């Protein structure tokens, strides 16, 4: 129970992480480099935002004309509805506006719209943003925000991490283009992985597995183990390790095949001690070879290969087919009795038993190994 509470508090805290301008710019540049007209005549919705100071709103408002946007809509979630209690103070911008309402400011979401030149300076930019309170609290699941979703072409945001599954389902049910930030673990979700396998969604172009620094509220308390930078560009930040962008907008990195050596050359020249002079080990319970590093994928192997999840950052759909994720294997032969026995003799504490479907192998020294989750892939043109 106490643990549950702690977990809820932790994920609520993680919901208030604000994306830095440079991270948005880098990712959007990749889409624009691939297709300079990607945003032309499009309506972009930025949900789960705090438009008065969000870098998403700022970035798209500043670039409204350059991108040729039709309309920019940005919505925020009411401060009273947020799970993580921040020290809320309405902005001067809101307080000085005639629409300011002392009650609504805490319980209503806000909407900001940019689509026309309201100050007659012959430009459409951040000064032309029009705002209002929403009817409700700005929950992305509300009918009100769903309507905004439906009228939009592209949805871009860093949604609350604790609601990532629901948020993705919300985008996908409306069949929208999107670019959103999420936890890397989401790759393995049963709702997400099949879409990655079918090339309906993919990883973004930047920041994979590097750890991103997000702005955090003033009253944010760091974990006792936190040892990274606490300030960047004058704002309080917190580094989150395993995050990445998810998208269905095209970018060039997806079309850059990996340059690889064949099996014989890998065995002779690989920089990895696990491969050099050894070659590739077959799984004990599945017809595939273990390839522990993406750059050690042999170019001429036509069978199935198990690679770490980080391969996805290098995945070029013209080069490889994704067959499955080890977690979802239905045709594994299961772990043998000998394997399980050896595994426990080595002092491992993992919970496995005979018939367990996870991939496993005996390494060159006869050790029983269960590799961390693997993506199973196959070359489209082995050579």
Ligand X SMILES: C[S@@+](CC[C@H](N)C(=O)[O-])C[C@H]1O[C@@H](n2cnc3c(N)ncnc32)[C@H](O)[C@@H]1O
Q: How many chain residues bind ligand X (CB under 6 A)?
A: 20
Please, which residue, 19 or 266, has the CB nearer to ligand X?
A: 19
Of residues 155-174, which lie at the interface with ligand X (CB under 6 A)?
A: 157-160, 163
- 3-state secondary structure (DSSP) of residue 132: strand
- Sort residue 307 into left (φ over 0), alpha (ψ -120 to 50) or beta: beta
What residues have CB less than 8 Å from 204, skipping those under 6 apart? Answer: 27, 30, 179, 244, 245, 246, 247, 251
Residue with structure tokens 């060039």?
252
Q: Is 52 in the site for ligand X (CB under 6 A)?
A: no
Q: d(Cα 83, Cα 190) in Å, to the nearest integer? A: 26
Q: Is 18 in the site for ligand X (CB under 6 A)?
A: yes
Q: Is 27 in the site for ligand X (CB under 6 A)?
A: no
Which region among 9-17, 122-130, 187-195, 326-334 touches ligand X (by CB under 6 A)? 9-17
- 3-state secondary structure (DSSP) of residue 293: coil
For residues 133 to 152, the per-residue mask of contacts with ligand X, x marking binding by CB under 6 A and - elsewhere, is -----xxx------------
Task: Provide, rounded to whole angstroms, the least separation between the CB of residue 77 and ligand X.
Answer: 3
What residues have CB less than 8 Å from 288, skipping those under 6 apart? Answer: 282, 303, 304, 305, 306, 359, 376
The two structure tokens encoding residue 299: 């170019």
Q: Pick from 13, 31, 38, 56: which binds ligand X (CB under 6 A)?
A: 56
Task: Provide, rounded to whole angstroms, the least separation between the CB of residue 82 and ligand X.
Answer: 4
What residues have CB less than 8 Å from 133, skipping those under 6 apart? Answer: 99, 101, 104, 105, 108, 109, 110, 111
Q: Is 59 in the site for ligand X (CB under 6 A)?
A: no
Q: Pick from 77, 133, 170, 320: which binds ligand X (CB under 6 A)?
A: 77
Please, which residue, 194 or 242, has the CB nearer to ligand X?
A: 242
Inter-residue contact 77 to 139 (CB < 8 Å): yes
Which region among 12-20, 25-33, 273-281, 354-362 touches ligand X (by CB under 6 A)? 12-20
> What is the CB-side half-sphere exposure of residue 84 using CA atoms within 13 A?
22
For residues 292 to 331, the per-residue mask of contacts with ligand X, x marking binding by CB under 6 A and - elsewhere, is ----------------------------------------
Task: Provide, rounded to whole angstroms, the least separation between the CB of residue 118 and ligand X.
Answer: 24
Q: Is 17 in the site for ligand X (CB under 6 A)?
A: yes
Q: Pick from 27, 49, 290, 313: which binds ligand X (CB under 6 A)?
A: 49
Task: Provide, rounded to whole angstroms, the least separation between the CB of residue 155 and ligand X.
Answer: 11
Q: Is 15 in the site for ligand X (CB under 6 A)?
A: yes
Please, which residue, 45 or 340, has the CB nearer to ligand X?
A: 45
Q: d(Cα 303, Cα 290) in Å, to the nearest integer? A: 11
Please, which residue, 56 or 286, has the CB nearer to ligand X?
A: 56
Please provide the distance, in angstroms rounded to a whole number, between the alpha carbons at the two ends of the chain: 56
Q: d(Cα 119, Cα 58) in Å, to the nearest integer? A: 18
Task: Provide, rounded to whole angstroms, the least separation between the CB of residue 217 and ligand X.
Answer: 9
Inter-residue contact 215 to 235 (CB < 8 Å): yes
- Sort residue 341 into left (φ over 0), alpha (ψ -120 to 50) or beta: alpha
Q: Pick from 28, 45, 48, 275: which binds ligand X (CB under 6 A)?
A: 48
Per DSSP bridges, beta strands 177-183 and 243-247 are: antiparallel
Please, which residue, 56 or 112, has the CB nearer to ligand X?
A: 56
Q: Pick from 27, 44, 54, 356: which binds ligand X (CB under 6 A)?
A: 54
Q: Is 290 in the site for ligand X (CB under 6 A)?
A: no
Q: d(Cα 225, Cα 220) in Å, to the nearest integer? A: 15
Q: State the residues that interact with ligand X by CB under 6 A.
A: 15-19, 48-50, 54, 56, 77, 82, 138-140, 157-160, 163
């Amino acid at each position: 129970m106490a643990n549950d509470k702690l977990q809820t508090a932790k994920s609520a805290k993680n919901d208030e992480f604000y994306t830095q301008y440079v991270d948005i710019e880098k990712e959007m540049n990749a889409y624009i480099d691939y297709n300079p007209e990607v945003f032309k005549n499009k309506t972009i919705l930025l949900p789960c935002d705090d438009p008065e100071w969000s870098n998403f709103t700022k970035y798209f408002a500043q670039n409204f004309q350059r991108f040729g946007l039709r309309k920019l809509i940005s919505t925020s979630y009411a401060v009273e509805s947020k799970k993580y209690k921040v020290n809320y103070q309405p902005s001067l911008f809101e307080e000085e506006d005639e629409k300011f309402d002392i009650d609504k400011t805490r319980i209503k979401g806000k909407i900001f719209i940019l689509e026309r030149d309201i100050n007659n300076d012959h430009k459409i930019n951040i000064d032309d943003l029009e705002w209002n309170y929403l009817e409700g609290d700005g929950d992305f699941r509300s009918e009100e925000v769903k309507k905004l979703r439906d009228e939009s072409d592209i949805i871009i945001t860093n949604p609350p991490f604790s609601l990532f599954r629901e948020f993705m389902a919300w985008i996908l049910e409306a069949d929208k283009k999107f670019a959103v930030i999420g936890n890397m673990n989401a790759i393995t979700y049963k709702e997400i992985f099949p879409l990655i396998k079918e090339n309906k969604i993919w990883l973004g172009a930047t920041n994979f597995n590097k750890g991103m620094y997000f702005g955090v509220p003033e009253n944010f308390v760091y974990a006792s183990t936190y040892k990274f930078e606490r300030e960047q560009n004058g704002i309080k930040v917190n580094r989150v390790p395993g995050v990445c962008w998810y998208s269905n907008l095209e970018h060039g990195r997806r079309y850059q095949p990996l340059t690889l050596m064949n099996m014989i050359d890998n065995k002779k020249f690989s920089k990895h001690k696990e491969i050099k002079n050894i070659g590739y080990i077959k799984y004990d319970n599945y017809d595939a070879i273990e390839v522990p590093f993406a750059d050690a994928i042999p170019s001429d192997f036509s069978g199935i290969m198990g690679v770490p999840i980080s391969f996805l950052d290098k995945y070029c759909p013209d080069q490889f087919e994704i067959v499955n994720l080890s977690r979802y294997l239905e045709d594994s032969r299961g772990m043998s009795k000998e394997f399980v026995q050896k595994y426990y003799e080595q002092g491992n504490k993992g919970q496995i038993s005979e018939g367990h479907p996870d991939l496993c192998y005996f390494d060159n020294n006869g050790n029983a190994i269960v590799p961390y989750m693997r993506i199973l892939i196959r070359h489209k043109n082995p050579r």
